[in-house]
Structure 1
Amino acid sequence: MWTKKLEIFAVVCIFLIIFEALGNVDGSPGVSSSRVTYSRDFLLSLRSSAIGTKPSNIPGELCKPGQRTKPRKRGRRGGIHRRLKTLRLDDRRKLPPLPSILLSNVQSIRNKIDELETHAKFKDEIKNTCLLAFTETWLSDLDHDTELTLSGFGNPVRLDRDRVITGKSRGGGVCFYINKRYCNTVVVREAICTPDIELLSVSLRPFYLPREFQQLFYTLVYIHPRADASAACQLIADVTHRLDTISPGAPKFILGDFNHCTLSKSLRTYDQYVTRPSTHRNTILDLCYGSVHGAYKSLTLPSFGASYHSSVYLMPVYKAS
C-alpha cells in the first residue's frame, strides 16, 4: 500500500518538474518563488528587435530605473565647444554659469545689420550667444534703435562717440546686444566718452545665476590708436573700483578693442582670456580681462563684412561651486 503511494507521489513530482521546464520553451518568463527567468533565445530576439525601435518591447524588469522611456545615446562628440553649439537657452538647467560672448570690431554696424540679422536668425552659434559686444559701431544721433534691432536680442545698449568732446567727426562707438532668453534685467552703470576712450559698463541679473554671484558686470571699451594709454587705463581702473563699491563680490569683465593698451599693471589680479590673434597682422587687439580665474576660452571666428578684425568667441569654462 505505502509503496504504491510513494510511486504516485514520485510520478507527480516528476510531472511538475517537467511541466515547469517546458513552460520556458516558447521564451516566456518562468515564474518561480524567488526570480523571473528568460530563455537565451528570448533574450537574443529582444536584442535584434530593439535595434531602431523604442525600448517599449523590452520587459520593464530588464531596464534600469530611469531608462525605460529613453534609450542611451552613444557615439556623440563631447567638449565645451560642442555643447555650446547645441545649447538652447530655453533649457535653463543647461545654462552656463557665465554668458557666452561674441566680441567683434565691426567698423560700421549700420552697413552690417542685415548680415547680423541673418546670423541671429539662422546661425546657432550667434542665435544662442548670450552677449554680442561690438566696437567701432560708427553710430550717431541720426541712427535710431528701431533700425538696429536684432531678432532675439532686441535693441542695442549703445554708447556713440561724442563729436564735440572727442573732436572726431566719425568712427568709434560701442554697443551690447543681450539675448532676451538669457537676461532681461540690464542696468547701465557707466557711459563715458573722452578723446582717449569710449566706455560702456552694464550690470546683468540673468534668469540663471550661480548662488556665489549676486550679479555680473561687463565693461565694453574702445581705445583710439593714438590715445593716451596711461590715461585710458587709469579711467578703466577707476570705473572698476566704483563697480567694486556697488557689489564687491560680483565678477567683473572688461572687453573691447584695446589697440596698444594693456591692463596688466593697473589691474594686476585680472586674467586676460584672449590668446589668438584677431587681425591680419597676427596681433591681439581685441582683449577680455576678468576677475574670475580661467573663466573663458577664446576662439577666432570670421569677421563681419570687410572688417579687418576677426571676431572673438568667448566660451565660458568656469564651473560653479
Structure 2
Amino acid sequence: MDWMVNSGKFRSSGVCVMVSNSWCNNANVVTLACSCSPNLELLALKFRPFYLPWEFTSVIINTVYIPPQHITCPTRGKRTLDHCYTPYKDSYKALDHPPFGKSDHAAIFLIQKYKQRLKGETPDQREVGAGQVAALQDALDDALDDADWDMF
C-alpha cells in the first residue's frame, strides 16, 4: 500500500471495512478509491453482495476518517463532540462561548492564528515628491486613454 507509505503520517494509520463472508466475499469487492494524507483517510469500495433487490446492482461504501482539527475545548459538558474541519492544519484557534438559546452544546468561535504582517508591524511613512506624483498621473492618463470604452 504505497499510498499509505507516502502519506506523510508518522503514526500507523488507515481505515478499514469489515464485511461478513455470508453477505459478500472478496471476489465481489472492487476498490474504487483509497487515499491517506495527514488530514484525511479515505477508502471507497464497491460490493456485489450475494443478494440485492433487483433495482440495485451493487453497494458502494465510503469510509472516511478526518482527524479532529481546531476544536480543542469541550463542546458539551466535559466532552468534545463538535468538530470543525478545514484543509489547513493549525490555522485557527477555538474559543468556547455560552450556548445559544436552549442548546446544550457550547458555541465555538474560531479565530485565525495567522496574523498579517501589515497588522503586526507599524507602517513606514514615506514622502512622495511632486515629480513622482506627476509621473504616476501621466501613466494613469495614458492607460485610461488607451482603454476601449465602447465595450462597456
The alignment's TM-score, normalised by the length of structure 2, stands at 0.41
- Please identify which structure carries the higher helix content: 1
Which structure's CA Rg is the greater one?
1
